[in-house]
A and B are shown apart, each in its own frame.
Chain A
Amino acid sequence: MNTKLNAIETINERTAEQIVSDEFLIARAKILELAATLDRIERARGDVEDTRHMQLLTHGMQILCDDEVDKAKRVQLLMSREYDPRWKDSMSIAKKES
């Protein structure tokens, strides 16, 4: 079964201008939080540049600034373990007859 979604982009009632004006202060605050976090890491002792978490954060921030769409989904996938479609075989889980 493949129920095609009626992707309702039109359900969005606000214009881009309205969204920027409604959410400017919220987004500004979130950028500042992120900036201050990076400063805090920078000021601290130790080197985290090569750690997995730091690399994920850096890559995530690059997604925010690129020209592609679906940023939330792409950040989510970046932070996700990989899915192997043959997982049942590698875990030796018996397949149901269907």
Chain B
Amino acid sequence: MDYIDPHLHMVSRTTDDYETLARMGCVAISEPAFWAGFDRGSVESFRDYFRQLTEFEPKRAAQYGISHYTWLCINAKEAENVSLSREVIAMIPEFLEAKNVLGIGEIGLNKNTRNEATIFLEHLDLAVKYNQQILIHTPHLEDKYQGTRMILDMLMGDSRIDRSRVLVDHVEEHTIEHVLENGFWAGMTLYPVSKCTPQRAADMIERFGPERLMANSAGDWGPSKPTAIPDLIMELKKRGHSKELIKKIVYDNPKQFFSQSKPFTHG
């Protein structure tokens, strides 16, 4: 089955991974900007990273027939450095016209600090000013619930934000309802230990229905599985769910959401 992975950090993966993804049915990837595993020293480092995301990765993906899209920002972890964050935010518009940029992301919170919230709000201003879609990272483990509620407070406190153009990622059992009930899109991240399994993702689809819901692997440089979406497809098939339902989650929904950004042309 053709599918789209709406959150996958291919800069940390090998070309062999592109090949495996293509063989498994992946036809498009969206890659949000994220933390490299270490704090970068200057705005120039981010400029090079954004060139990699907008110039090099789309070419690497195209060799395997995969469309590559991206989102730009300074991630929540490095947002603790407010002055560097402001330099990065000021530089992002240089790249917003690139052919594969879908919007601003993955912005969010990490340890739910004041600095992170300040930079999150400045990213919202940037997105509104340039009419960009938004992809959101919610914190992990014990910080997730508090951080997700804080993020929703900031989004809902800003009347300029069109909720149907915001995707809130890494939702789990205790946060999914808040996100969907308030009109946002939600992404479930299939990740070996710290996030959600294909089984629990299938449970959430059964519980909350397929509207505005999608799944991603968030594959990155840590222990993660870039081919996690085929695992979810298998789990849903095993449970006897229809092809239409499965396709809606792994293909139609990401396509519908991304189509709200001009550069998205897939299918």
Asked if B150 is at the interface (CB within 8 A of a chain A CB), the reply is yes
**Residue A96 CB within 8 A of the other chain:** yes
One digit per residue, 1 when the CB lies within 8 angstroms of any chain A CB and 0 when it does not, for chain B 175-209 equals 00100111100000000000000001001011111
Please name all residues of chain B whose beta carbon is closer than 8 Å to the beta carbon of A87 when the two chains form the complex.
150, 153
Binds B, one of A4-12, A33-41, A58-66: A4-12
Asked if A44 is at the interface (CB within 8 A of a chain B CB), the reply is no
B150 in contact with A2 (CB, 8 Å): no
Interface size class of A (residues with CB under 8 A): 20 to 34
User: Given B145, B211, B238, which contacts A83 in the complex, CB threshold below 8 Å?
Assistant: B145
Tell whether B149 is near chain A: CB-to-CB under 8 Å. yes
B6-14, B82-90, B129-137, B157-165 - interface stretch: B157-165
Given that A3-B180, A3-B183 are contacting pairs, would A8 and B146 also be in contact in the complex, using a CB cutoff of 8 Å?
A: no
A residues in contact with B172, CB < 8 Å = 76
Residue of B nearest to A94 (CB): B121
With both chains docked as a complex, state the minimum distance between the C-beta of A68 and any C-beta of chain B, in angstroms: 14
Interface residues of A in 9-55 (CB under 8 A from B): 9, 11-14, 22
Query: In the bound complex, do residue B118 and residue A93 qualify as a contact, i.e. CB atoms below 8 Å apart?
Result: yes
B residues within 8 A CB of A3? Answer: 180-183
Q: Interface SS of chain A: helix, strand, loop or mixed?
A: loop
Task: Contact check, A14 vs B240: say whether CB atoms are below 8 A apart.
Answer: yes
Chain B residues whose C-beta falls within 8 Å of the C-beta of A11 in the assembled complex: 205-206, 209, 241, 245
B163 CB to nearest chain A CB (Å): 7
Which residues A72-98 have CB closer than 8 A to chain B?
72-73, 76-77, 79-83, 85, 87-88, 91-93, 95-96, 98
Residue of A whose beta carbon sits closest to that of B184: A3
Structural contact, B241 and A13, CB atoms closer than 8 A: yes
CA distance A6 to B146 in the complex (A): 25
A6 touches B211 (CB 8 A): yes
In the complex, how many angstroms separate the beta carbon of A4 from the nearest chain B beta carbon? Answer: 7
A49 to B214, CA, bound (A): 40
Find chain A residues with CB under 8 A from B239 CB.
Answer: 12-14
Q: Among A7, A70, A76, A77, find the residue whose CB has the most chain B CB atoms closer than 10 A.
A: A76
Once the chains bind, are B182 and A2 in contact (CB under 8 Å)? yes
CB distance from B232 to the nearest CB of A (A): 15
Docked pose: A46 CA to B180 CA in angstroms: 45
Interface centre among A9, A12, A22 (most CB of B within 10 A): A12
Cβ contact of A76, chosen from B150, B173, B182, B240, cutoff 8 A: B173
| Chain B residues near A (Cβ < 8 Å) | 112, 114, 117-118, 121, 141-146, 149-150, 153, 157-159, 163, 172-174, 177, 180-183, 200, 203, 205-209, 211, 238-241, 245
A-B pairs with lowest CB-CB distance, top 6: A98-B159, A80-B145, A76-B174, A13-B240, A8-B209, A73-B173
Given contacts A2-B182, A3-B181, A77-B145, 17 further A-B contacts (CB under 8 A): A3-B183, A5-B181, A7-B209, A8-B206, A9-B207, A11-B245, A72-B203, A79-B142, A81-B143, A85-B149, A87-B150, A91-B117, A92-B114, A93-B114, A93-B121, A95-B157, A98-B157
Using a CB–CB cutoff of 8 Å, the interface residues on chain A facing chain B are 1-9, 11-14, 22, 70, 72-73, 76-77, 79-83, 85, 87-88, 91-93, 95-96, 98
